[in-house]
Amino acid sequence: MSESRFVQFSKPMLGTEEAQAAYDTVMSGWVTQGPRVAGFEADFAAAVGASHCAAVSNCTTALHLALQAAGVGPGDEVITVSYTFLATPNSICYLGAVPVFIDIESGTRNMDPALIEAAITPRTKAIMCVHQFGMPCDMTGILAVAGRHGIPVIEDAACAIGSEVLVDGVWGRIGRPHGLAACFSLHPRKVLTSGDGGTITTNDPELDRKVRMWRQHAMSVSDLARNSSSQVMIETFDEIGYNYRMTDIQAAVAREQVKRLDGIVAERRRLGRLYLDRLADIPGLGLPVEPAYARSTWQTFGVLLPAGVDRTATMQVMLDAGIQTRRPTFCCHLEKAHAAPPPRFALPVTEEVYRRNLGLPLHPQMPDADLEYVVATLRRILQGV
């Protein structure tokens, strides 16, 4: 490494508050499916403006349960994108359903609503849009097509805690939700973290009831209800469920994280604006576009390298200069797990964005000087100055 400086790609914002909350939970003796999980669910629902929130083990299991609650089953089709983490199509396949990939918009890196209608068949059971990298999808466009065809929308909001979208003239946080349900991740690369963890938010009480039941082996009585009852409660298991529980240790950490949300989002947005400003004059660089209906959290800030620039070589020069960069996400249909059958539709924008997109460091503890150093290094590589 030619520089002593090291710029981390991302860094969770964890402090003594989270450590103390975890400690207190351990000492309380109630470490799973207890009062802290219930408290976190209430806090998270309030933070995003949803009437219900169920906490689960991670976003992958959240997506699985939300799809199951939407009635997705073997042979059904779910319209989604290939430019996402593998969890998105995997969750569809868990139910024996088929992910139908449609292309994305280059600027937002999100599902192109204009392509949904042509992908709808009699077997289409749901649309799973992904608010990729914290950038809200065009929910007005997506909901209009979905509404015309009576198809439920499940939002993969893994990266979008704290993001906002304008629908019908009203700004709302992602997760209100705007579709049937939204699923979030608390993995350390996300806006908030509890190590691992996930949530499903909805305004549908029946969906909330089902996912709560399924997350704990479809047990008819929750631990919290049994423990707080003065009457003996006998549980039954009337269908097949899963162990998708969040622990109270995770929930206690997550509650502290929710308190930090506004501050984290404000700082992420400030850093995102700084990048957009500093990088604007580099020829051929494809900056992310934040449309008038969206307020991103820049969970990942990716730039499309000018055509012909070798991304891996660029990443190596950046790393040699002490800067961690990443391929922001994957092209699922190019991975063996989802290569067959081949995609029904051509995905030229998806493939180009995947090839050119370079994720730059951005996290709320990043000093401005580090950001300026990243910009200067990228400029030196691309422009030789």
Ligand X SMILES: Cc1ncc(COP(=O)(O)O)c(C=O)c1O
Catalytic residues, by residue number, are: 190
- DSSP per-residue codes, 292-351: TTEE---SSEEEEPPTT--HHHHHHHHHHTTB--B--S-BGGGSGGG-SSPPSS--HHHH
Q: Count CB-CB contacts under 10 A for residue 93.
A: 15
Among 40, 44, 83, 85, interactor with ligand X by CB under 6 A: 85
Q: Would you say 137 and 131 are in contact if contact means Cβ atoms under 8 Å apart?
A: yes
Cα 139 from chain centre: 15
AA identity, residue 208:
D
Q: Is 89 in the site for ligand X (CB under 6 A)?
A: no
Pick the piece of the chain touching ligand X (CB under 6 A) from 22-30, 154-162, 277-285, 313-321: 154-162
Q: Is 159 in the site for ligand X (CB under 6 A)?
A: yes
Interface of this chain with ligand X, residues 98 to 137, rule: CB under 6 A: 130
Cα 229 from chain centre: 37
Minimum CB separation of residue 62 from ligand X in Å reads 8
AA identity, residue 156:
D
Which stretches of 19-152 are assigned E, i.e. beta strand?
A: 52-56, 77-81, 98-102, 124-130
Q: Is 154 in the site for ligand X (CB under 6 A)?
A: no
Q: Is 213 in the site for ligand X (CB under 6 A)?
A: no
Q: Is 78 in the site for ligand X (CB under 6 A)?
A: no
By CB under 6 A, how many residues form the interface with ligand X? 14
Distance CA 303, CA 312 (A): 14
Minimum CB separation of residue 158 from ligand X in Å reads 3
Among 156, 164, 256, 290, interactor with ligand X by CB under 6 A: 156
Name 36's Cβ contacts closer than 8 Å, sequence gap at least 6: 25, 30, 248, 249, 251, 252, 255
Pick the piece of the chain touching ligand X (CB under 6 A) from 53-61, 95-103, 224-232, 267-275: 53-61
Pick the piece of the chain touching ligand X (CB under 6 A) from 57-65, 66-74, 301-309, 317-325: 57-65
Nearer to ligand X, 87 or 137 (CB): 87
Q: Is 354 in the site for ligand X (CB under 6 A)?
A: no
Interface residues toward ligand X, by CB under 6 A: 58-60, 84-85, 87-88, 130, 156, 158-159, 185, 187, 198
